[in-house]
């Protein structure tokens, strides 16, 4: 039976491309917001959700850090997607035919050198995939869209010019979320554990909480902090480590962490993906 996989955005969005890469034989379910994406998994409309958590150029996706810990869902996987910007046009369109380009303002900014070189007028769109859809619908050869190759396939457009972004290292990390935890077996290679915690209100609590990971040789690959409910004194930390909770070193690190925290929750234990393998 074909499963439904929820993602935020229109068909052809980069999140859709990540969803297709992870679940090529399943049905992608587009959702308007991150809240809708999470709700689709919570209420069973989708088996999994695919959400972006950070980008190599723009940092973390703040909404996910607030929504995911309170969702009751689990992280079951990750995927790194290389973000390649392409100039799309109607079938048969040549570069010299295009006088204006439409896309999300961020995408336009990432392709500033190409746009300036070819003296293209810019049009701000709601998102990359939506811009591709509008170009396909309007049928105007003088206007192109900046979007993914996947969007070109979805809307029947040509890639007039490929990989036109200024920065070659633009990559987004996506998380797979589910109602059920799907932990790799203990001893599996390249396992990542994600958790959230809040430190006690005592001097040097965070420093002491982190000490257990250093002394036990557990590599912490991410540590993010953010305020809770708009309070300057209530802070939650989001962390990724390499290792399985059943590993003795991780157990000892978590045990030491517990002495200095008043809240701790594992969001997921899942196979680690390699950023170098981003596609």
Q: How far is CA 77 from CA 7, 184, 199, 212, 225, in A?
A: 14, 10, 27, 26, 22
| Distance set, CA 4 to CA 8, 48, 180 (Å) | 13, 7, 15
Rounded distance, CA 273 to CA 279, Å? Answer: 12
Nearest residue to 74 via CA among 272, 271, 266: 266
**C-alpha separations of 258 from 41, 205, 238 in Å:** 30, 11, 15
Give the catalytic positions in this structure.
172, 174
Matching residue, tokens 């309007």: 138
Taking alpha carbons only, the member of 115, 123, 147, 114 closest to residue 133 is 147
CA dist 143 and 100 (Å) reads 5
């Amino acid at each position: 039976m074909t499963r439904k996989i929820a993602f935020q955005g229109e068909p052809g969005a980069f999140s859709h491309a990540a969803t297709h890469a992870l679940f090529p034989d399943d049905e992608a379910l587009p959702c308007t917001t991150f809240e809708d994406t999470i709700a689709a998994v919570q209420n069973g409309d989708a088996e999994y959700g695919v959400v972006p958590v950070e980008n190599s150029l723009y940092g973390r996706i703040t909404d996910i850090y607030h929504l995911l810990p309170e969702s009751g869902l689990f992280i079951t996987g990750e995927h790194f997607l290389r973000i390649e910007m392409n100039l799309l046009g109607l079938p048969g369109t040549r570069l010299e035919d295009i006088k204006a380009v439409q896309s999300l303002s961020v995408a336009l900014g990432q392709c500033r050198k190409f746009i300036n070189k070819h003296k293209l007028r810019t049009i701000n769109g709601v998102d990359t995939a939506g811009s591709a859809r509008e170009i396909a619908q309007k049928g105007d050869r003088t206007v192109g869209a900046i979007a993914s190759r996947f969007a070109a396939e979805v809307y029947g457009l040509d890639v007039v010019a490929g990989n036109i972004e200024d920065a070659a290292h633009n990559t987004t990390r996506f998380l797979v979320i589910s109602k059920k935890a799907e932990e790799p077996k203990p001893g599996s290679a390249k396992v990542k554990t994600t958790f959230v915690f809040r430190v006690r209100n005592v001097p040097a609590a965070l420093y002491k909480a982190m000490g257990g990971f250093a002394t036990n040789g557990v590599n912490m690959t991410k540590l993010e902090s953010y305020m809770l409910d708009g309070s300057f004194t209530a802070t939650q930390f989001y962390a990724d480590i390499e290792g399985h909770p059943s590993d003795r070193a991780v157990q000892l690190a978590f045990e030491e962490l517990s002495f200095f925290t008043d809240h701790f929750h594992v969001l997921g234990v899942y196979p680690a993906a390699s950023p170098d393998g981003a596609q």
